[in-house]
Amino acid sequence: MMPYKISVTPLWMRTANMPAASSQPFPSSVDVLVVGAGYTGLAAARETAAAGRSTWVLDAGELGAGCSSRNGGQVAYSIKPSFDSLKAKFGADRAFRVCREGLDAVAYLRSMAANEIDCDWRDNGCFFGAHTPRHFKAMVRDAENQPRGLEQRINVVQKSLQHEEIDSDFYHGGCVFVDDASVDPTRLLIALMRRAQECGAQVVDRCRVTAIKSARNGFEVLTSRGVVQARQVLLATNGYSGPLSAWHRRRVIPIGSYQIATEPLGAERVRALIPFARNIVDSRRVVVYFRPSTDGERIIFGGRAALSERDPLACVSRLQQMMSRIFPQLKSVHVTHAWVGWVGYTFDTLPHLGQHEGIHYCMGYCGQGVVLAPYLGKRIGQQMLGLKEGLTAFDGLEFPSRPYYREKPWFLAPSVFAYRMLDFIGL
Ligand SMILES: Cc1cc2nc3c(=O)[nH]c(=O)nc-3n(C[C@H](O)[C@H](O)[C@H](O)COP(=O)(O)OP(=O)(O)OC[C@H]3O[C@@H](n4cnc5c(N)ncnc54)[C@H](O)[C@@H]3O)c2cc1C
């Protein structure tokens, strides 16, 4: 128990000016009904609303209840499998297109941030710290052997020069991903919501969708505010997918991701810790990630501190310990905010979009949806309109499940334990 009070509202939401939810009467029929008002649902809704389709976005919680208001705001190339592993599975052409689209998604958000929206975009790059000398060697090898046409700008940082990047001896060198960036995640959510609303989409809070049934001209959708007939439905529920669709629930694994914000430390002290205000991630399997807050006064530190703990306060001391192993200088600083969100993992660590039994879906960013969700959300919106621009390299990929996985991810605890052991022994 902490001797002082910690807020469970994400730090980003402290000053956020969330747009008002729709004040229109609840409709009896719509063209497009989107379930989930995060980046995915809002990006898709903007496309369908702009094309003149009456579009309603329903969210079970308050606006900003999902991951999109509460993530780390780290912008990076976000396709988890390597080009070589994708090539072994799908062939060189599909592997190249999937990876290329990962880079296109970053370019899309960058261009939107430059030209259309305010999300506090910063070209701060990312320091990827090597947890062991062996990880460092592998990083250097990967940086020097990037597949042609998929190159990213990467600077290798030897351990002897590491203090130029981070005031810590924890890592064994690392790499700077020069083109990575950061955003204020809540501001990105607000910007996407405004764009969708400006095009005519109605966004409704505290309205849970409880069932979707096939009907003559589409679907009959049961919600906590009544029944709606919808010609098309999009599931944009990611790590919050729950019991609404058993098929999706068997394919998306919800995993808690936890963050803390330190008390204000002063901009100078934060700059001394992370001189270029970069995002920091490391090469462990059970990953941690951190960065300065947007005002430069605090450190925001996150990681998989637990698997399914719903109370973020229960994870504070674990995250503090993780942080002080990297920055012993922060051992006694206070934490003022702690929060949790549910990311959606998939068994092949790829995002998936398409249709199942006529219901559209787009989800499974494996904890890396800041770039992927706005981009693939737009694409699924275009697919719902039948536009060929909506086609992606992910279309038609099998969306795998596992035997006996229906509700509880029984395999998670043993695998995370094994990953922690491998991290511990440095493999
Ligand atoms: C702590 C944390 C840190 C992260 N850091 C990063 C990062 O630095 N970089 C990165 O790329 N990604 C990060 N992520 C992941 C990223 O935030 C997500 O991948 C992304 O926000 C997913 O967006 P989404 O719109 O698909 O889902 P969400 O934003 O999670 O929205 C899903 C919505 O669906 C609603 N919903 C579910 N079921 C129903 C229903 N039946 N009826 C109505 N509504 C329903 C939920 O209420 C929720 O609001 C992080 C996530 C967390 C939690």
CA 279 to chain centre: 15
Q: Which has more confidence, 266 or 421? A: 266
- Range in 224-228, 392-396, 413-417 the model is least confident about: 413-417
**159 Cβ inside 6 Å of ligand 1:** no
Is residue 417 over pLDDT 60?
no
Q: Which atom of ligand 1 is nearest to the CA of 36?
A: 34
Cα of 74 from ligand 1 centre, angstroms: 14
Report pLDDT digits (tens) over 248-265: 999 999 999 999 999 999
pLDDT at residue 423, as a whole number: 57
Rounded mean pLDDT, 388-399 = 98
| Boundaries of every domain in the chain | 11-71+187-253+347-416
**370 Cβ inside 6 Å of ligand 1:** yes
Express as a percent the part of the chain with pLDDT over 70: 94
Q: Which atom of ligand 1 is nearest to the CA of 372?
A: 11
Burial (CB < 10 A; 0-12, 13-18, 19+), residue 37, is buried
* Pocket probe mutation, ligand 1, options 71, 77, 219, max atoms within 8 Å of Cβ: 71
For tokens 């909506």, the residue is: 390
Is residue 425 over pLDDT 60?
no
Is residue 153 over pLDDT 90?
yes
Cα of 400 from ligand 1 centre, angstroms: 20
pLDDT level of residue 408 (50, 70, 90 thresholds) = confident
**249 Cβ inside 6 Å of ligand 1:** no
pLDDT at residue 286, as a whole number: 72
Quickly name the fold that domain 11-71+187-253+347-416 has: FAD/NAD(P)-binding domain (3.50.50)
Report pLDDT digits (tens) over 315-331: 899 999 999 999 999 99
Residue of the nearest CA to atom 9 in ligand 1?
74
Provide CB contacts within 8 A for 353, sequence distance 6+. 360, 361, 362, 363, 376, 379, 380, 383, 392, 394, 395
Residue of the nearest CA to atom 16 in ligand 1?
369
Burial (CB < 10 A; 0-12, 13-18, 19+), residue 27, is middle
